[in-house]
Homo-oligomer: A and B are copies of this chain.
Amino acid sequence: MYRSHTCGELKLADAGKVVTLAGWAARIRTMGGMAFIDIRDRYGITQLAFNEGYDAGILEQASQIGREFVIQVTGKVAERESKNPQIPTGDVEVIVTEFKILNPAKTPPFLIENETDGGDDLRMQYRYLDLRREVVRANMVLRHKMAQEVRRYLSDSDFIEVETPVLIKSTPEGARDFVVPSRLNPGQFYALPQSPQTFKQLLMVSGFDRYFQIVKCFRDEDLRADRQPEFTQIDCEMSFVEREDILHVFEGLTRHLFQKVKGIDLPEVPMMSYADAMQFYGCDKPDLRFDMRFADLNDMAKGKGFGVFDNSEAVIGICAPGAASYTRKQLDELTDFVKRPQIGATGLIYCRVEADGTFKSSVDKFFDQNALSGWAAACGANPGDLILVLAGPLNKVRKQMNELRLEMGTRLGLRDPFNYKPLWVIDFPLLEQDEESGRWHAMHHPFTSPLPEDIHLMQSDPGAVRANAYDLVINGVEVGGGSIRIHNRSLQERMFELLGFTPEQARAQFGFLMDAFEYGAPPHGGIAFGFDRLCSLFGGSETIRDYIAFPKNNAGRDVMIDAPSALDQEQLDELSVSVKQR
């Protein structure tokens, strides 16, 4: 036993006790005849006092060490002269009588403090030191707590955690698979799962009734900022349920997590159709921390001689509350914002609602006070507010206005990361059409059931079929998504056919699932939460990497261990593969 207590637990009541602590030297202050060292471990920090009056030899030793040395000390707990109310152990210090260096430390390449001087690359290379910083470790502790509470809630709700295999079969649909050559089956490959989708459905066929798993999934995508090749899902499936049953259970889970982990009582989660989300917020994951719903200004904006509006499919306005005072410069910034190539608007129309109720717009030439008051009514704008208007092809304007709305939310301070506004988005389209090839793709995945009332449209108007699918959106972030599944072989076959599979392809890739549907498959559905994302949301951060202990960089590399890397020829030979020279 290297210690009698951790560095976070000594209190005034312990004064007089002889204790042994072990940890890292966090701060070292020496002064004539005395030294103070803050010793740190995961549990806290305790002040150590060295005094030449007690033991000059130990003071001498202590003076030799540097930051981050691992030390072990024994001494008597004493009340501090100048207390530190910032930390739980701040009333006491330990007067050291025995001192031992357990391991010396080189000077770290960056400061092991919450505000560090280390850049991203350096911190990733020395991730084990980065993780030593309290802010980073706190993220991992949060993640740990969330995982335990997820399991507690679901276990208490009769869900069974089942581990599904990691070495499975490649299915070239959807994102790219990571694959694993099989040495024992030369020329053949396993794939790593993009999700345990088919396995959890088989568990429903097996009668498991309620399944969950916190599970690693893998997607070999071209990496974008903050996307990881391996990520973690809370994966769930239930039998004999309809959509409402699933929403009820997982609203319960979400509320439980907020209550247990953050002490927040989450409000009831409202529902919004995909169509409404697109119409009123221009995206399928609206941030409801603030309003600024889109107002359709088509009727009142067109036919007044303003060509931009007249020639546009859609004219959409939003009301930025209290922003009538925006300066010319601020408005120009907004115009530049929407004209950036990533957003691509051609211009921005504004209309100030002045304090006296009059209007001042950038299109006064075409729209009189009466017309503008119509805009204000449509947008819900009051004196002091600013109306912002974009025009163009409907889908483009929606996207652009979504970006502008979020930007305005940010500028107006309406997106407090610790104010949580959840939403179920439902009734997604079942299919999306690839513009170039004309091929239909499953918006969710090929196992999603259409809404029963839309099944008859599958041949005649595939694009109009709605899926029995749902997403949980919190603060504009898609936290989870799922669907009621197809549990009937012929419907599944029709779905594959719609997606362009030949019967042979469907059978080769998913025959086992369709076979299973013929042996007594119950109605079932489920959901999967992006666990990394959920953790970052709870932590109030937008970067999932901060919530992953050993993340990869944007090139998919672990720069700390230097992976991936080349293999020996011998290893390749054993696997019956060779590397192609380019």
Q: Which of B2, B127, B187, B190 contacts A563 (CB 8 A)?
A: B190
Q: State whether A568 touches B205 (Cβ < 8 A).
A: no
CB-defined contacts of A310 to chain B, threshold 8 Å: none
Q: State whether A144 touches B161 (Cβ < 8 A).
A: yes
CB-defined contacts of A520 to chain B, threshold 8 Å: 24, 68-70, 103-105
Contact with B along A543-582 (1 / 0, CB 8 A): 0000011101001111011111111100101111111101
Q: State whether A189 touches B567 (Cβ < 8 A).
A: yes
The CA-CA distance from A566 to B182 in the complex, in Å, is: 10
A238 to chain B, nearest CB (A): 10
- Classify chain A: how many residues form its interface, as a range: 35 or more
A163 to chain B, nearest CB (A): 6
Q: State whether A552 touches B167 (Cβ < 8 A).
A: yes
The CA-CA distance from A351 to B487 in the complex, in Å, is: 67
Contact with B along A345-369 (1 / 0, CB 8 A): 0000000000000000000000000
Q: State whether A163 touches B549 (Cβ < 8 A).
A: yes
This protein's copies in its complex: 2
Stretch at the interface among A170-178, A297-305, A336-344, A408-416: A170-178
Q: State whether B566 touches A172 (Cβ < 8 A).
A: no
Taking A488-B103, A516-B128, A520-B24 as contacts, is the C-beta distance between A181 and B184 under 8 angstroms?
no
CB-defined contacts of A552 to chain B, threshold 8 Å: 165, 167
Q: State whether A563 touches B169 (Cβ < 8 A).
A: yes
CB-defined contacts of A216 to chain B, threshold 8 Å: 163, 166, 216
Stretch at the interface among A222-230, A252-260, A386-394: A222-230
Q: State whether A2 touches B242 (Cβ < 8 A).
A: yes
Contact with B along A182-220 (1 / 0, CB 8 A): 111111111110000011001101111110000010101
Q: State whether A137 touches B106 (Cβ < 8 A).
A: no
Closest to A204 in B: B128
CB-defined contacts of A275 to chain B, threshold 8 Å: none
Taking A166-B166, A169-B563, A571-B172 as contacts, is the C-beta distance between A522 and B22 under 8 angstroms?
yes
CB-defined contacts of A518 to chain B, threshold 8 Å: 105-106
The CA-CA distance from A577 to B179 in the complex, in Å, is: 11
Question: Would you call A160 an interface residue if the criterion is a C-beta within 8 Å of the partner chain's C-beta atoms?
Answer: yes
Question: Would you call A477 an interface residue if the criterion is a C-beta within 8 Å of the partner chain's C-beta atoms?
Answer: no
Stretch at the interface among A147-155, A285-293, A438-446: A147-155
Q: Which of B148, B163, B576 contacts A582 (CB 8 A)?
A: B576
Q: Which of B185, B222, B232, B566 contacts A557 (CB 8 A)?
A: B185
Q: State whether B580 touches A578 (Cβ < 8 A).
A: yes
Question: Would you call A140 an interface residue if the criterion is a C-beta within 8 Å of the partner chain's C-beta atoms?
Answer: yes
Contact with B along A298-318 (1 / 0, CB 8 A): 000000000000000000000
CB-defined contacts of A205 to chain B, threshold 8 Å: 128-129, 132
A239 to chain B, nearest CB (A): 8
Most B C-beta atoms less than 10 A away, residue of A41, A160, A163, A487: A163
Taking A2-B240, A128-B206 as contacts, is the C-beta distance between A565 and B189 under 8 angstroms?
yes
Q: Which of B69, B180, B564 contacts A188 (CB 8 A)?
A: B564
A326 to chain B, nearest CB (A): 44
Question: Would you call A42 an interface residue if the criterion is a C-beta within 8 Å of the partner chain's C-beta atoms?
Answer: yes
Closest 10 A/B residue pairs (Cβ) = A105-B520, A131-B206, A169-B563, A2-B240, A188-B564, A68-B520, A182-B564, A128-B202, A42-B209, A22-B240
Contacts A/B (CB < 8 Å), 18 sampled? A23-B522, A24-B520, A42-B207, A103-B521, A103-B523, A126-B519, A127-B202, A129-B205, A148-B151, A163-B232, A166-B192, A169-B563, A170-B567, A176-B574, A178-B190, A185-B564, A512-B561, A577-B580
Q: Which A residues fall within an 8 A CB radius of B?
A: 1-3, 22-24, 40-43, 68-70, 102-106, 108, 126-129, 131-132, 137, 140-141, 143-144, 147-148, 151, 155, 160-170, 172, 176-192, 198-199, 202-203, 205-210, 216, 218, 220, 222-223, 229-230, 232, 240-242, 244-245, 487-488, 512, 516-523, 548-550, 552, 555-558, 560-568, 571, 573-580, 582
